[in-house]
Structure 1
Amino acid sequence: MALPRIDIVEDNATPQQKASILDALQEYNNKAARPSFSADFSILLRDATSDDVVGGLSGQSFYGWTFVKFLVVPEIYRGLGLGRQLMLEAETLARRHGSEGIWLDTFDFQARPFYEKLGFSVFGELEAGEQAHARYFLKKRF
């Protein structure tokens, strides 16, 4: 058997190339892990006059946990409870999907205190350095 070639692609991998990596991982995971519900979801924050999407939350439920990948509330709408509402909707979806809880990550300049007020706790950390911001991994188990 000939070994595969390693090819480094920094910024311009095609969607098909990226999908091939994910397909190979999912094939392995599906053989090794218990069957699990899987769903991608978005909760949209829309401008009241134009109906344009101005922010929101994007996540995925899989292998018994729900991951919040992105959450953004534009600065002009902060302090109105919209971030909390988005997270409560994500929690509702996570429970509907049968998840054990929700997890996410945030940098030191982002929203760690916000998530802790919602009942999340830190379970991991990448420390800050000269070239890096601290990154925190938080979870909320149901």
Structure 2
Amino acid sequence: MTAVDKRVLTVSGKDAELTKRLENELVAFNDVATGTAPRGEFSVRVTDEDGELIGGLTAWTWGGLCGIELLWVREASRADGWGSKLLREAEAEAVRRGCDRVTVSSFTFQAPGFYQRHGYAEVGRVPGVPGGHSDVYLFKVL
């Protein structure tokens, strides 16, 4: 007689609990593999006089590297330089946290040119984004 396999493989929609568990497990693995301190996170935001969000940026730091995850500015405020101000403040915060380099990715229809104007260099590109676009990876030494 053989033992019955009780493992279950499932596919579902977004699973916040699974995402958090995977993040925790991978961060722990990465810390051991690289011998670096745990990852940190920070955000930068700007609001108007009514407290409404003009724009914001989220990022992580790990072993001297800063990764920009999200940067967004509302459409009506994009010509006011808020993207540049958010980016400069994030870079300054990254330096305060001991980082000497930063990375970001941006779809070709988003803002790779914006990052290049701020000293970022393209280091890779992944094709296949819908609409014939690519995901551009950029890097900057701080």
Query: TM over 0.5, yes or no?
Result: yes
CA RMSD between the two structures: 2.3
| CA 1:4–1:98: 2 relative to 1, 3 Å | farther
1:130 CA drift (Å): 6.4
1:4 CA drift (Å): 9.2
- What are the ranges of 5 or more consecutive residues in structure 1 without an aligned counterpart? none
**What corresponds to 1:88 in structure 2?**
88
Would you tell me which structure has more strand in proportion to its own residues? 2
- What are the ranges of 5 or more consecutive residues in structure 2 without an aligned counterpart? none
1:37 CA drift (Å): 5.5
Task: Give the Cα separation in 2 of the matches to 1:42 and 1:7.
Answer: 36
Could you tell me which amino acid in structure 2 is paired with residue 124 of structure 1? G
Secondary structure at the residue paired with 1:106?
A: strand
TM-score, normalization by structure 1: 0.86
Task: Give the Cα separation in 2 of the matches to 1:4 and 1:92.
Answer: 51
| Structure 1 position 113 matched with structure 2 position 94 | no
Q: Larger radius of gyration, structure 1 or 2?
A: 2
1:134 CA drift (Å): 0.7
Deviations, residues 11-58 of structure 1 (Å, cap 9, x unaligned): 141x2222221222122112211223632111112122x112242111
**What corresponds to 1:126 in structure 2?**
126
Task: Give the Cα separation in 2 of the matches to 1:22 and 1:4.
Answer: 25
